[in-house]
Amino acid sequence: MKTDLATGADIIRKFVRTLPAAPGVYRMIDEAGAVVYVGKARNLKARVTNYTRPEANPLRIQRMIAATRSMEFVRTETESEALLLEANLIKRLRPRFNVLLRDDKSFPYILIATDHAAPELMKHRGVRRRQGHYFGPFASATAVGRTIAVLQKAFLLRNCSDSFYAARTRPCLQHQIKRCAAPCTGEISLADYGQLAEDARAFLSGRSRAVQSQLSEDMNKAADNLDFERAALLRDRLSALALIQSQGDMSARGVEEADIFAIHAEAGQFCVQVFFFRAHQNWGNHAFRPRADASLSEAEVLEAFIAQFYESHLPARQVLLSHDLAEPELLQEALATRAGHKIGVLTPKRGEKRDLVRHALDNAREALGRQLAEGATQKKLLEGVAETFGLEEVPRRIEVYDNSHIQGTNAVGAMIVAGEDGFSKRHYRTFTIKSEALTPGDDFGMMREVLTRRLTRLANESEPEAEDETTGMPDWPDVVFIDGGLGQLNAVKAVIAEMNLPVDIAFIGIAKGEERDAGREKFFVAGKEPFMLPARDPVLYYVQRLRDEAHRFAIGTHRARRSKDIVKNPLDEIDGIGPSRKRALLNHFGSAKAVSRAGLEDLSAVPGISGAMARLIYDHFNQGG
């Protein structure tokens, strides 16, 4: 360590000589060429000079210096630009010494699309390509769906696609159940429908009281004029708006728009709770578990987390924090640059804002407590697996495989993964069985194919000690459970015998009990006699959960593939027919069946369909003619 530390410091000194006293971003690179740390500085020369005196730095920084064998630099005009660039590089390069945002969640929005004469109300996620008004983020798709359903009742906005809208000759079911004003068939004028859309935009923008007051006034006028049907409709719309406002577990009278961040640390782990408040309402929250060195303070982790979080999300006009940051003004300037308008960043000390932050902090504390409790239970189960099956070490990654098919059709293999944090669904994989030499229904052959493909790819792409930089999950499994008995295990052993794997993997077969009774499973391990576990053994319950999850995942994948084949469009079988031409044909003829009956002239009349393409389509459907 001392030799590496001195070497790293010497290498850094060489770079310091030519560095400018200007803002910028620096990257520290190890012997393998991997970036181990990304940092920003107001003064690059002064900041990097600190690393040339390693003994004055904490142990974490010393390890970072010891790993450094090269450096790269990018100069920026301002420090806020450096902060934004630093966050971008950390998210892209995922250096091991930086605080890392582990699950970069994409949050859904509500969109009132205005690129059509009759604006559409819809859920949106991803890049903002459509013209319209975006409201969010919401913490979950469920919250968005629930809110859209109530907004339809309140403002009668359509949620159908433009093509569905254009094809209507009479109102659809949504109009009949009073969730759409049906502008498609002229049940409402476009001008009046546009006012409904404007009311919805005003409500979602925070002007809820004005909208409700206007509806209430209109309702009373309708009642005075004895137009009780219209009064009842307006009453129902008012009730729907009240329902939206009552959905959140908290409301904020004095906070129209804010993102709230609260962090809690315990046992060397961190949890950040993010709450979204829009239009004075709580639009949900999400817990994040950033990966950070335990020596860092909560404020340091929070500052790094927020910079990365807003790399892919637009900030609210207020950002409320549970901890004081070292450089709040810098973060405020960087967020304002990103948003294009002024952003307030503050740690409230009193009043309603402080209450909201305290509520978020309580949620962070409780979420981390639950996670630690679950982790402790999971750790005990993994220790039990090691003891029960005679493993040398407690497994960090367990893989379970299963197959699914119906008489050999749509055959798929499935792999699920579990570890110290429970099921790791981001690492699940499916395998389409490709071998034409297999006898339909040959489970042994399918398992051989799946494991051969999985382990071959793993050996080609991953080193034995490699880990997922986001989750810390090893790439290579310690234990593999196979859903099957001695026959399946022998099929696996045949695969392994042909491969010179760089790691030792324990393979365990699980045979179902008599009459497929849960609790009567028999386990097969190489070098041991088959054995059963006591009926109430926690390890048995755990393995059953693993096997059932693999079975669920395999069956679900198989059903999805089978359903896809059932609804397969004949146009998909024609070379040269992509999504655009397919859409043009279906819009013109209405169905694939109508396309199959069309003549050459009719096909050629479709926009985007050339004479040659029309001939290709015609010949495809008229080969016997």
539's CB contacts (< 8 A; 6+ apart) are 381, 384, 385, 388, 533
Q: Which range among 30-39, 250-259, 390-399, 420-429 shows the weakest confidence by mean pLDDT?
A: 250-259
Q: Where are the domains of the chain?
A: 2-93, 109-247, 257-369, 389-558, 570-621
Q: Which of the listed CATH numbers 1.20.1260.10, 3.40.1390.10, 2.40.160.40, 1.10.150.20 matches domain 570-621? A: 1.10.150.20
Kindly state the helix (H) or strand (E) to which residue 615 belongs, with its residue range. helix 611-621
Contact criterion met (CB below 8 Å) for 466 and 427: no
* pLDDT, mean of residues 580-588: 80
40's CB contacts (< 8 A; 6+ apart) are 23, 24, 25, 26, 79, 82, 83, 85, 86
| Confidence at 420, pLDDT banded by 50, 70, 90 | confident
Q: Which of the listed CATH numbers 3.30.365.10, 3.40.1440.10, 3.40.50.11780, 3.40.50.300 matches domain 2-93? A: 3.40.1440.10
With b for 16 or more beta-carbon neighbours within 10 A and e for fewer, the 385-419 pattern comes to bbebbebeebbbbbbbbbbbbeeeebbbbbbbbbb
Residue 121: how many other CB atoms lie within 10 Å: 22
Instruction: Name the burial class of residue 543, with classes exposed (0-12), middle (13-18) and buried (19+) by CB atoms within 10 angstroms of its CB.
Output: buried
Phi and psi for 333 in degrees, rounded to 5?
A: -65, -40
Task: Supply the pLDDT for residue 438.
Answer: 62
511's CB contacts (< 8 A; 6+ apart) are 484, 485, 486, 521, 522, 523, 524, 530
* pLDDT, mean of residues 421-437: 82
Q: What is the DSSP string of 560-592?
A: HHHHHHHT--GGGGSTT--HHHHHHHHHHHSSH
Q: Is 389-558 in the same CATH topology as 257-369?
A: yes
Regarding predicted confidence, which is higher, 27 or 199? Answer: 27
- Is the pLDDT score of 233 beyond 80? no
With b for 16 or more beta-carbon neighbours within 10 A and e for fewer, the 17-51 pattern comes to eebeebbbbbbbbbeeeebbbbbbbbebbebbeeb
- Is the pLDDT score of 625 beyond 50? no
Task: Supply the pLDDT for residue 63.
Answer: 92
Q: Using one digit for the tens of pLDDT, what is the confidence trace for 151-169?
A: 888 888 998 988 899 988 8
Q: What is the DSSP string of 498-535?
A: TS--SS--EEEEEE--GGG-TT--EEEETTS--B---T
Q: Output the CATH code of domain 257-369.
A: 3.30.420.340
Q: Output the CATH code of domain 389-558.
A: 3.30.420.340
User: pTM here?
Assistant: 0.68
Task: Supply the pLDDT for residue 473.
Answer: 87
Contacts 24+ apart (CB under 8 A), 199-202: 199/155, 200/112, 200/121, 200/151, 200/154, 200/155, 200/157, 201/112, 201/133
Q: Using one digit for the tens of pLDDT, what is the confidence trace for 293-343?
A: 888 999 999 999 999 999 888 898 999 999 999 989 999 999 999 888 899
522's CB contacts (< 8 A; 6+ apart) are 485, 510, 511, 513, 530, 531, 532
Task: Supply the pLDDT for residue 208.
Answer: 63
Regarding predicted confidence, which is higher, 469 or 134? Answer: 134
Place of tokens 């009949």: 176
Regarding predicted confidence, which is higher, 341 or 231? Answer: 341
